[in-house]
Structure 1
Amino acid sequence: MSVTVTWYSHACILIESEGTHLLVDPFFTGNPLAPVDADKVSADVIFVSHGHGDHLGDTVAIAKRTGATVISNFEICNWLAAQGLTKLHPHHIGGGSNHPWGRVKLTIAHHGSALPDGSYGGNPCGFLFSIGGSKIYHACDTGLFYDMVLIGEEGIDLAILPIGDNFTMGPDDALRAVKLLKPSKVLPIHYDTFDIIQQDPAAWKERVEKETSTHVVLLKPGETLIL
């Protein structure tokens, strides 16, 4: 079954399979690298990893336009309900749910999660997707943690890892994350959006492929990988 992964820059990812569109951390408005506007993006389900504005992004506007269900932690779902959204599916870390398109489970992430108005955004998370016969781990915003070994035991086809440093893992720790996860492929994200997270993804690819058996996929914003 065909699964495609499109990187819209920063941590925003679109996963498509059998006509279903899963949109993660839809940061378009105010994103200098976004290749499309928020009103041009399709979504059946939106996933929000934490409350920061560069991840929550255009969730409310896109959900209202498309009728997408939003999956996030309990606190963020409550906040989104106060913004007028009704199709919400709250989770917490380690909890998952089955859907016609597959399954998602929330994983730990070491980060913050305050919402744009300063209210409490619960625990940040990553997402482990089982879709179209593939396992995709989107780490979202996180530092390195040793429990990535447990996530890797799932048999990861694609890991999506931040490499920007400063707010998340940098290149060194992201390389260590690859060694813990042992994915077939890895897609580096969360870099170059702002000056403070400028990185050289080609240099990182060279290091990863020299020290591991994982293939590094480099995408430009708007480009798509077929799994």
Structure 2
Amino acid sequence: MLLKVTWYGHACFMLEGSKKVLIDPFLTGNPLAPVKPNEVTADVILVTHGHGDHLGDAVEIARNNDCPVVGIHELSRILSAKGVEAVGMNIGGTAKLSGIAATMVKAFHSADVEEDGELIPAGDPAGFVVEMDGQKVYHCGDTDVFMDMQLIGELYEPEVMLVPIGGWYTMGIREAVKAVELVRPRYAIPMHYNTFPVIETNPEEFKKAVEGRVEGVSVVVLKPGESFEF
């Protein structure tokens, strides 16, 4: 079965196979988002960390679809208090639900939740390796490159890597190319760029650098709303 990967801008993706998995649903306030929260259906929502540009519309979409939100334990406690079905887990664990397996892996970033102008601790940032229909996608979350990405590649062998390239808040192109080299997926899709002026960059530079340096990896540059199937 083909797995369909659709980019909704920033770090938000929909994975569609036998189930629909929505990751980091930042739609409201996302100038690149081609859809609104009430236009999205999902079986599972994954949230890499609690920043507003990743947690986004998770609560509203979860309520609309009566579906669980998966995140790190501390963030799940915050979401449970909002009346959604929140599934808490931690780094290295695998949550199996609704026909998919989501393994939480490391990311290097910060991860507070802002409520009423105050920052609330919400656990650590993370990435996810999602397995559905025998295929695997690695969403890096917000992170810099780190050597354990090589272990993630060796252990989980993701076919697709969703990798931030915008710099400033995450790794930029130079670091992202190294991250792809460590993981060695079949396909790399850039994310977390051009949403705001401070993270403007050229994904074609990333594509050229990866395909010139990392043998066997193809870079797929999507526009918001576009999909890739593999």
The normalised TM-score by structure 1 is 0.97
C-alpha distance in 1 between matches for 2:166 and 2:24: 16
SS across alignment from 1:135: strand
Give the gaps of 5 or more residues in structure 1: none
C-alpha distance in 1 between matches for 2:53 and 2:100: 27
RMSD, aligned CA: 0.9
C-alpha distance in 1 between matches for 2:134 and 2:227: 18
Q: Does 1:7 align with 2:10?
A: no
C-alpha distance in 2 between matches for 1:156 and 1:14: 16
Task: Report the equivalent of 1:23.
Answer: 22
User: Which structure 2 residues correspond to residues 1-227 of structure 1 after superposition, within 5 A?
Assistant: 1-18=1-18, 20-85=19-84, 87-117=85-115, 118-153=119-154, 154-213=156-215, 214-227=217-230
Whether the 8 Å CA contact 1:135–1:155 is kept in 2: the answer is: yes
Point out 4+ residue stretches in structure 1 off by more than 6 angstroms: none
Q: Return the offset for 1:78.
A: 0.5
Whether the 8 Å CA contact 2:44–2:69 is kept in 1: the answer is: yes
Q: Return the offset for 1:99.
A: 2.9
C-alpha distance in 2 between matches for 1:149 and 1:9: 26
What percentage of aligned pairs have identical amino acids? Answer: 42
C-alpha distance in 2 between matches for 1:98 and 1:61: 23
Give the gaps of 5 or more residues in structure 2: none
SS across alignment from 1:146: coil
C-alpha distance in 2 between matches for 1:192 and 1:62: 24
C-alpha distance in 2 between matches for 1:45 and 1:124: 19
C-alpha distance in 2 between matches for 1:88 and 1:80: 6
Given residue 184 of structure 2, which amino acid in structure 1 is its aligned partner? K
Q: Return the offset for 1:100.
A: 4.5
Deviations 1:97-143 (A, max 9, x none): 22352311100100011102211110110001111121110001001
Whether the 8 Å CA contact 1:185–1:215 is kept in 2: the answer is: yes
C-alpha distance in 2 between matches for 1:69 and 1:84: 11
